[in-house]
Amino acid sequence: MNASLYPRVRRMFVGLVALCAAGTCGSATMVHAQVGKPEGLYYKSWAVVVGIENYLVAPKVPGAVESAQAMATALRELGFDEVIELRDKEASSRHLLQILNDYLPRKVGRQDRVLFFFAGHAGITQDAQSKELGYLVPWDAQPNNSAKAITFDQLKEFSRRSASKHMLMLFDANIYGWEVTAPQPLSLEGRLSQEDETEKRAIQVLTAAEKEETVGHAPGQSAFVTALVAGLSGAADLNKNGWIMASELAVQVKQDVERTTKGAQHPQFVQLEGDGDVILIEGRKGAFQAGKEPTSEADRMREARIQYEQAFALLQRQQSAEEALERLNRAIGYDPSFGDAYVLKSYIRLEVLPNLEESLLAARAAVQHAPQNPDSHYSLALALEKKGQYQDAEQAMQQALVVNPAYGDVYFSLDVLYADHLNDPQKSVDAFRRYLELGGQSERAIRAVQSSAPKADNPAP
């Protein structure tokens, strides 16, 4: 931060303080409504949760209903607007097809997200080219007969017909046959904006096991659902940024299930369509960046600078000061010696999100790590002045002038300090005079200097 930046920051904060007084500052996010777009990430979130434990003619699937109930609860806790639960005979072939082919296509909009969960039997058939394809077994169907099954073609047709740009299908079953390359999690590297992810099409699938593996079933929640619920409760936030993406959930679930089943099950993740990513938990916008954490010193310093510049830009645009503060804290975490970040943090804590002790701590850190920056000393002076430590504030301002003798704003603050708190009129006038010599235009300074000028002697009669 150069010598001319601090006055600019001060003027900017005057506007921010005015916004706060109007009640529009300090929110975690500031989203401007746009025609045709939701104010949040999605207009509406839909889920169909199927658990079939007691089949009409097929063997029982222990724990399927309890697993489905756990998933429905987890999704409601995430804020899903409509969760359709189908248990046992409610999940007949006819009812499932009616929901997939008619109900959801009529209800779901493009700016919505859809999640489909299935716990029950899966079967295998072959297409005309003898390729093995899996299918879901409804309540009134059989694992070895695809006559009433929910086939791959029907699932893919559902995903194509759905207007929703984001869909995640979770199968607590061994189902496969997607015509895609080997399933691999999406890379998290390079994502900088949640808008980038929500505007991209994403049809994603996560299954409980790999081809030809047996999915274990026992009373209670399955290993797959236990991992899913844990992930949706926070365990899937792999980079600790407050956001949970479907690709992150897949990585966490795969690790948990493989460990729990001792390698008997290997969940598979498929990006069926698009290159976006379903967002399951929305964190703070300022924390979205989902790339790999920098490890080298050079990368950490570079990332600290990026976070600092983004924080400053947020304040310039009069957007969320809380997000700006969060970015500054991230910058300091990457580079604990980043003096400029401490300066800006001190000022935010002094003027916008008041916390005088934090402002003082940040200012002292700025002086420690950036003593050649006059703003470090100026930040400390302003915090000390607000705390009532006027002598210490004067020393800090004088130190700022040692670093930059032409810093006009510091002279003005020094003038006011002498006049209002230290009761030294002569020093106040001297400081005002220097402030004006440097181009200052404050009416107070002009009046103070003019009133101190000696009056001309009256001429003799």
Structure tokens at 4: 């001319």
Q: Do 317 and 399 sit in the same domain of this protein?
A: yes
Segment among 16-20, 271-275, 309-313, 339-343 with least mean pLDDT:
16-20
Could you tell me the end-to-end alpha-carbon distance of the chain, in angstroms, rounded to an integer? 60
Q: What is the pLDDT of residue 455?
A: 57
Residue 38 maps to a domain: no
Q: What is the pLDDT of residue 263?
A: 92
Q: What is the pLDDT of residue 238?
A: 79
Q: Do 86 and 101 sit in the same domain of this protein?
A: yes
Q: Do 259 and 147 sit in the same domain of this protein?
A: yes
CA distance 228 to 219: 17
Segment among 66-75, 148-157, 362-371 with least mean pLDDT:
148-157
Residue 15 maps to a domain: no
Q: Do 280 and 228 sit in the same domain of this protein?
A: yes
Residue 22 maps to a domain: no
- Mode of pairing for the β-strands spanning 132-136 and 122-126: antiparallel
Q: Do 135 and 214 sit in the same domain of this protein?
A: yes
Residue 459 maps to a domain: no
Closest CA to 450 of 431, 426, 429: 429
Q: Do 368 and 423 sit in the same domain of this protein?
A: no
| Boundary (domain end) residue, out of 284, 312, 333 | 284
**How confident is residue 35, by pLDDT bands cut at 50, 70 and 90?**
very low
Q: Do 328 and 191 sit in the same domain of this protein?
A: no
Q: Do 108 and 197 sit in the same domain of this protein?
A: yes
Residue 244 has pLDDT above 80, yes or no: yes
Residue 123 maps to a domain: yes
| Number of domains the chain contains | 3
Using alpha carbons, list the distances in angstroms from residue 10 to 5, 77, 208, 345: 9, 42, 56, 13
Q: What is the pLDDT of residue 99?
A: 94
Residue 62 maps to a domain: yes
| Boundary (domain end) residue, out of 233, 254, 284 | 284
Q: Which domain holds residue 388?
A: 294-405
**How confident is residue 30, by pLDDT bands cut at 50, 70 and 90?**
very low
Residue 46 has pLDDT above 80, yes or no: yes
Mean of pLDDT over the chain: 82
Looking at residue 280, which CATH number applies to its domain? 3.40.50.1460
Q: What is the pLDDT of residues 371-396, one digit of tens each?
A: 999 999 999 999 999 999 999 999 99
Residue 311 has pLDDT above 90, yes or no: no
User: Higher confidence at residue 249 or residue 270?
Assistant: 249
Residue 226 has pLDDT above 90, yes or no: yes
Q: Do 111 and 231 sit in the same domain of this protein?
A: yes
User: Higher confidence at residue 370 or residue 165?
Assistant: 370
Q: What is the pTM of this model?
A: 0.56
**How confident is residue 435, by pLDDT bands cut at 50, 70 and 90?**
confident
**How confident is residue 287, by pLDDT bands cut at 50, 70 and 90?**
low
Q: Do 83 and 141 sit in the same domain of this protein?
A: yes
CA distance 366 to 337: 8
Give Cα 447 to chain centroid, integer Å.
Answer: 51
User: Higher confidence at residue 459 or residue 428?
Assistant: 428
Residue 460 maps to a domain: no
SS3 content of the chain, % helix, strand, coil (to 5): 50, 15, 40
Are the C-beta atoms of 338 and 308 separated by less than 8 Å? Answer: yes
Q: Helices marked H in 146-235 — which ranges?
A: 152-161, 194-198, 223-230
| Boundary (domain end) residue, out of 250, 284, 318 | 284
Q: Do 393 and 418 sit in the same domain of this protein?
A: no
Are the C-beta atoms of 243 and 249 separated by less than 8 Å? Answer: no
- Mode of pairing for the β-strands spanning 150-151 and 132-136: antiparallel
